[in-house]
Amino acid sequence: MSGVGGLRNVEAWRTRIPRYRFLGARCKSCGKLHYPPLKACPYCGSRDLEEAQLPRQGRLLAFTSVYSVEEGGREESPIFVGLIDLGVARVVAELTDVTDPSRLAAGIPVEAVFRRISEEDDEGVIVYGVKFRPVPGAGEGD
């Protein structure tokens, strides 16, 4: 790695819980959820938040196939990224298990899976978290 790396060891550990359990935050003021959890509601600015489990099922709002990727991701190019509507919240996440890219389309059902997000680097840290995959067996536009 000659450039700028991903999460460092301690910070990957410190921020693991929301990533591992797919926990966001619910705003007690406006009721909205968001992920990853910030210290304030991104919609109304309230600081009165509580932990909230996000649904694992959603629909793809938009996706992109990324070719011009950074070091450590190049061998897997393209990488698919989606904007996903979970009903109560939206998330941007990598899409995985895309065996047939031609079946990716706005509206298809997707589900959260726990995956490796970055490979071991020189510091020995592997980052895990949520990615989304097309729901197996569900047809396009289901």
Footprint of another protein (CB under 8 A) = 2-11, 13-15, 19, 34-36, 38-47, 61-74, 78-79, 81-83, 89-94, 106, 117-118, 127, 129, 131
Q: How many CB atoms lie under 10 A from the CB of residue 33?
A: 22
Q: Among 68, 100, 122, 137, which residue sits at the site for a second copy (rule: CB under 8 A)?
A: 122
Give the nearer residue to Zn ion in terms of CB position, either 33 or 104. 33
CB of 72 to another protein, least distance (A): 5
CA-based Rg of the chain, rounded to a whole angstrom? Answer: 16
Q: Would you state the structure tokens that stand for residue 114, as one six-digit string?
A: 């726990």
- Is 46 among the residues that bind Zn ion (CB under 5 A)? yes
Q: Considering only 12-20, 33-41, 104-112, 116-124, which stretch makes contact with a second copy by CB under 8 A?
A: 116-124
Q: How many residues bind a second copy (CB under 8 A)?
A: 8
- CA-to-CA dists, residue 120 to 6, 39, 107, 123, angstroms: 10, 29, 34, 8
- Contact (Cβ atoms closer than 8 angstroms) between residue 104 and residue 80: yes
CB 16 within 8 A of CB 116: no
The region of 22-30, 54-62, 85-93, 131-139 touching Zn ion under the rule CB under 5 A is: 22-30
- Which tokens in the block code for residue 106? 């706005």
Rounded to a whole number of angstroms, the minimum distance from the CB of residue 116 to another protein is 11
